[in-house]
Structure 1
């Protein structure tokens, strides 16, 4: 069986994935909120006056003001001279973004140090880095580079760090609970959330963070010496993938969503040797057509391709016509299943996807592809490594 290889496409995704009659409201990153809380606490420590509002600078130069939910001054126990400490809370507003950390109480506790300079630590609710590949020291707090710089600049606006020593502890009440709904544990960030943000601003429904998390997950896996990444489109396909490859460590399984192209590019850059893609019919159909970013706003299932697969698998003219006119990729899958052709057609579809991914990786990776049913309970076809 031969077929023409499709052109490869990795379309851009717009900032918002939904059309709204009104503009979506932006929000603030955990990094921006932690910075604001730090500046409020330090200002209170210097002036002796609790702060109700604070202004900070964002990385692009914009100045923004944050309300301070709580700001307290208290003696610091065990500090020579009875020096004070201050604590401030800024509540994260994620705007219209469905962010698990929306409403988080970013808390900064600030105290003086005898040695000039800034020491930044993570308190309860801020994750601890336990694996390499994140660009952060193992054993340290999961506070990324941009928030670290923002906090340092905010502190520098209040005191001269060349002559004054400041200790800042960032904590997040209930942060460990929030982290259960993130990928932190898989990345080796334990005990809480990450303090993140490259701009300080949360763009509503932005998929940039998801794409970045996919790439980061591949980097973390590679940093631990693993050489095969398993790309899953969601939770159900991940369950199937884990059952298929039970001996692989958890870090090898990456929920790729729509960003297969980004994940494969990262895998090649990191010197990996193998990729296993596990998905359902719709995503596989898009990939087989050469579409490497598969969000519904930028691609659709090519039913004529599925019709051609049906014919190559031995389907009669009526079945080919029915699949070509199917409503969705899932509908085509069901037509194959009803006709007793699911295994044969599914295997051919997986082989097409394998050819696309290998070509996209310029043959730098071994590729295996598996098609799972819509419950994620079983593999029904593959590119040859597993029986359908």
Structure 2
């Protein structure tokens, strides 16, 4: 997939375009095209998502498929290539499972649900809900809990904000600058992959 990412970004730059759209598999691709109808097809690239369990990740505790480590590698390479080719915008669309590898939430096995619980508290959730979210075991289950509590909108947006911030910091590091040369937007889709439930990001300069 790394080679595909390199080729895709090079093709976008060759066409004089400045935006790369990364999306999860299946409905997420159709949602991306529907939300961004003016962009040429070359700007869209499917990443390794959570359509099925990967050998390394396995299944999440709630029975949902675990996120693929390849997904995070795709985005990391896309950021490096976007910086190298001078692209100004990266848009990431996906379900909670698709975003899990980039959320720093521990859903990929790197450590606990504390960040998700923190989001819950910051967005006005009660301690009992924060505790449930901390023990949820996956970003998908956390989103279900937020939805049940009427907090999916603000919590989903905050999740997108944190993912976008992390990706922009990675882009700045790749560029060796204090500010990311790539504007990142993150869109959280519902579990079906066809409806936006959260979004955050800055526009291309």
Q: TM-score range by the shorter chain?
A: 0.7 to 0.9
Unaligned 5+ segments in structure 1 are 1-209
**Deviation of residue 288 (structure 1)?**
2.6
In the other structure, the counterpart of 2:200 is 383
Distance of 2:14 and 2:144 partners within structure 1: 41
In the other structure, the counterpart of 1:275 is 90
- Please identify which structure carries the higher strand content: 1
In the other structure, the counterpart of 1:308 is 118
For residues 277-296 of structure 1, the aligned pairs below 5 Å read: 277-289=92-104
Q: Give 1:245's match in structure 2, choosing from 30, 36, 44.
A: 36
Unaligned 5+ segments in structure 2 are 49-70, 173-179
**2:155 matched to 1:345?**
yes
Structure index of larger Rg: 1
Is the deviation greater in 249-258 or in 342-351? Answer: 249-258
SS at match of 1:230: strand
TM-score, normalised with respect to structure 1: 0.42
* 1:325-370 superposed Cα distances (whole Å, 9 cap, x missing partner): 0032111110011111000000001000111111111011111111
Q: Give 2:80's match in structure 1, choosing from 265, 290, 307.
A: 265
- Please identify which structure carries the higher helix content: 2
Distance of 1:268 and 1:234 partners within structure 2: 24
Aligned length: 171
**Deviation of residue 300 (structure 1)?**
4.9
| Moved beyond 2 Å, runs of 4+ | 282-286, 299-302
Residues 301, 347 of structure 1: alpha-carbon distance in 2 compared, 3 angstrom cutoff: farther
* 1:146-186 superposed Cα distances (whole Å, 9 cap, x missing partner): xxxxxxxxxxxxxxxxxxxxxxxxxxxxxxxxxxxxxxxxx
TM-score, normalised with respect to structure 2: 0.77
Q: Is contact 2:164–2:201 with CA below 8 Å preserved after alignment?
A: no
For residues 1-388 of structure 1, the aligned pairs below 5 Å read: 210-257=1-48, 258=71, 259-289=74-104, 299-300=109-110, 302-362=112-172, 363-383=180-200
Higher RCO (C-alpha 8 Å, min separation 6):
2
Q: Give the superposed CA RMSD.
A: 2.0
